[in-house]
Amino acid sequence: MFELTKADTHSKARAGILRTAHGEIETPIFMPVGTQGTVKAIDHRSLKEIGSQIILGNTYHLYLRPGTEVLKEFGGLHNFMNWDKPILTDSGGYQVFSLKDLRKIKEDGVEFKSHIDGSKHWFSPQRVVEIQQTIGSDIMMQLDECIHYPASFIDAKKAMERSVRWAKTSLDYFKETRDNYETKQHLFAIGQGSEFKELRKICLEENCSQDFDGFSIGGLSVGEPTEIMYEIVDFSTDIIPKNKPRYLMGVGTPENILEAIERGVDMFDCVLPTRNARNGQLFTSNGKINIKNSKYKYEKKPIDENIPSWASNNFSLAYLRHLFIAGEIFGLQLSTFHNLAFYLWLVKTARQKILNGEFLSWKKDFLEKYRSEE
């Protein structure tokens, strides 16, 4: 599934290719989040125009709406949403465990109530794989237990051990069943253990001893200090085999992504570029912008001349500010278009710099400029 194209000689950064039934993905890659079968405030044509190679869906949300029967009727999510490129689905574990008072953890799964209507449901490792087979995602995630931060060593150990058991159960079920719709699917394991390296090591070594297609680093970006996140990422990528893709779940800012690429991560997803766009925060090659700020009222410069996208180059900051102040939907669309274009430009440029042997010097120069405007 994964081919390592180039390893940086001065860091753990790497460029590779992921091969799926719906196309190849050049890594490092950022995956726009389309939780419910759509990336908020942007259409499919625009996603392709800015270079989206893969998008992310969520098993929990798609299971509740539109439901597996609808997805089965359409032959999977690709057909349902008319998207012909790869899709990765999260297991929904994070959402289920975030329900707190609405869920009950058992050894063989988790019982939970829908946040929509309060109806009762059951997720087991096998059931979550089955749902993702119905979704038809190219890359599936195991069901894991997501622990809060901070967590005690004992609580983190219990969650990690359960996640390891569920990983094996998921893989066994996956091997016993067939991919739906006659397309090859891939299953990733998720590393847990909170901030404790001892637990992370046990989890990753156990998962890596099994025949998973890739490995995710989970349980981060949940409130821990950034330094701890980087430390755990660095520690984890030393354990994950070099011939398998590494996915850092739910991360993050442009700085987070570049630091994680330096530490050997291949795949990223985060709601930050789309959510922040809808709130008026833009990520640019010159730093972050709060477009509602009055200083942009007469600003004729485009959003970002360095980003090769229609939205970034063709509209003034003053016009975009006007759209937000006036409450126009077009403002949300333009800002979303730009932010995703920026994130995809960022990882594409990082890949090119890795291939050219220039990653660390470029990263240093980029971050100095990016942070200088904050």
Is 238 a residue of the active site?
no
Measure Cα distances from 155 to 148, 194, 210, 235 in Å: 9, 9, 25, 21
Angle at the Cα of 349 (from 347 to 355), degrees rounded to 5?
105
Q: What is the DSSP string of 71-114?
A: HHHHTSHHHHHT--S-EEEE-SHHHHHHTGGGEEEETTEEEEE-
Token duo for residue 205: 């070594």
* Integer-rounded Cα radius of gyration of the chain: 20
The residue from 8, 90, 213, 304 that is catalytic is 90
Q: What are phi and psi of 309, to 5 degrees?
A: -145, 150
Q: Which residue has the tokens 């050049």?
A: 26
Helix (H, G, I), strand (E, B) or coil at 340: helix
Structure tokens at 228: 């701890």
Chain centroid offset of residue 95 CA: 14
Contacts of 82 (CB under 8 A, 6+ apart): 44
**Tokens describing residue 203:** 């989890």
What tokens does 175 get?
A: 């091997």
Q: Which of 8, 138, 213, 269 is labelled catalytic?
A: 269
Measure the CA–CA gap between 258 and 251, rounded to whole angstroms: 11
Do 325 and 317 touch, CB atoms closer than 8 A?
no
| 155 catalytically annotated | no
The CA–CA distances, whole Å, from 215 to 115, 140, 203, 274 equal: 29, 11, 11, 25
Phi (first) and psi of residue 122, to 5 degrees: -135, 125
Which active-site residues does the annotation give? 90, 269
